[in-house]
Structure 1
């Protein structure tokens, strides 16, 4: 188990952690599943699933805590308030987590972002926002439309700009050209238990792939079979299948 480093959230009396696995190789910023912690990735067997890559010095995982319990999963608050709170998480990633990673790897390097379930949303959204530093995102069993997550209340700018399904569909001009040049998205999803309901990961992933296709952004959609469930054993297999070609 890697050593945990706790870093303050800018402007808030709280901190979030980063845990590293591996000493060399391409750095991967790993987001946990909903309301998860940095330790979950290893505790649920994801590091072990690609241990050969870690041992060979091909990849180094930087796993972060989520802030979902205070943001998207805080269902007592309207969607717009949850989206505003998500901004604090993004600020922590940029101002605290990224410099911490850069210090540990000896300078700024291009990252892969990776996440499962709600973490897939975070991984893809972060790459679309910061393709300059994280040009490749790998999303496993994600739902990419936060407005569909048991939302309520009036939707405003905070939700719009945190929703890849919304803002990407309306992206044009030089910013779209930049995304076409810089960003690559790998979307993986199964058709088995819990990928349809209640997560809606399968239909959301397919719909988001359609948006990427319409915008001409590099992406790959890999749909697994009806036995492929929204669960860790399948994410082990999907990660081991795809990650070797990127590191």
Structure 2
């Protein structure tokens, strides 16, 4: 795969080391979030990176496969739900204050694209909608976007502002005009309903989006390896 690099640094926002794989030489910076409890090497192992290697060789995109901390946040049943959300907020700040500026500086672009499959789709959607000042494209593949089920009934302002179905209907940002959202999902996907609802909410906010429902496809990597290069080709060809 094109120009694979392993990076590890100490994150001031997280107060811990964070790991990442990058691919490509130049082009639009694209941050990929892992699935539930996934790691930074997941997209390589499941050949998602292989599916877009042509775009890397041609210099259209540079990929940043960041590690996840779901084990410390949303999936950590050993701590109070309020702390789960706070741990995620520090992760969000790491992306916003550390990784995104790094990627933009390295590539010379003023915004990033974000992408993710399954629970990674939540991460991409949440980050992109909260921070459209730094996000040009959101690519969600079989994403589910309501996080409240991970919190045992707990709810506060931090939950609200990290739960897109809650904050999006009341949100407005001038950068929304420059944002485009891909909602890729299978006809038999367990997250199909979430994507219908998200497309409706995005439309009501005036955010351009495409709900792409693939016939006879399910919630799995073969679907994501098919649709991911399609979406990148649309970006490269200025179709969105």
- CA shift, 1:102, in A, is 3.3
Q: Which residue of 2 aligns with 1:36?
A: 38
Between 10-19 and 131-140, report the one with greater CA deviation: 10-19
Q: Cα distance 1:206–1:148, how it changes in 2: closer, same or farther (>3 A)?
A: farther
Deviations 1:175-213 (A, max 9, x none): x25143232211111132xx32xxxx2111111111112
CA distance in 2, matches of 1:50, 1:153: 40
Q: 1:95 Cα shift?
A: 2.4
Deviation at 1:8, TM superposition (A): 2.2
Q: Distance in 2 between matches of 1:154 and 1:134?
A: 29
Displacement of 1:129 after TM fit?
A: 1.7
| Counterpart in the other structure of 2:198 | 208
> Which of 181, 186, 204 pairs up with 2:177?
181
For the pair 1:119 / 2:115, whether they are aligned, the reply is: no
- Name the structure 1 match of 2:168: 168
- Structure 1, unmatched stretches of 5+, are none
Q: Following TM superposition, by how much is the alpha carbon of 1:110 offset from its aligned partner in structure 2, in angstroms?
A: 2.0
Q: Within 2, Cα distance between the matches of 1:239 and 1:64?
A: 17
Shift of 1:16: 1.2
**Which aligned pairs between 1:1-247 and structure 2 lie closer than 5 A?**
2-10=4-12, 12-105=14-107, 107-149=108-150, 151-171=151-171, 176-192=172-188, 195-196=189-190, 201-225=191-215, 227-247=216-236
Shift in Å at residue 7 of structure 1? 2.3
Normalising by structure 1, we get a TM-score of 0.88
After superposition, give the CA deviation of every residue in 1:218-246 in whole Å (9 maximum; x if it has no partner): 11111112x31211111000112221121
Return the offset for 1:49. 0.8
Separation in structure 1 between the aligned mates of residue 158 and residue 141 of structure 2, nearest angstrom: 25
- Structure-2 separation of matches of 1:103 and 1:169: 32
CA pair 190-77 structure 1, distance change in 2 beyond 3 A: farther
After superposition, the C-alpha distances for 1:54-74 in whole angstroms (9 at most, x for unaligned) are 111112111100111111111
Query: Equivalents in 2 of 1:187, 1:236: separation in Å?
Result: 14
Query: What's the secondary structure of 1:68's corresponding residue?
Result: coil
Which shifted more, 90-99 or 132-141? 90-99
* Unaligned ranges ≥5, structure 2: none
Pairs aligned (count): 234
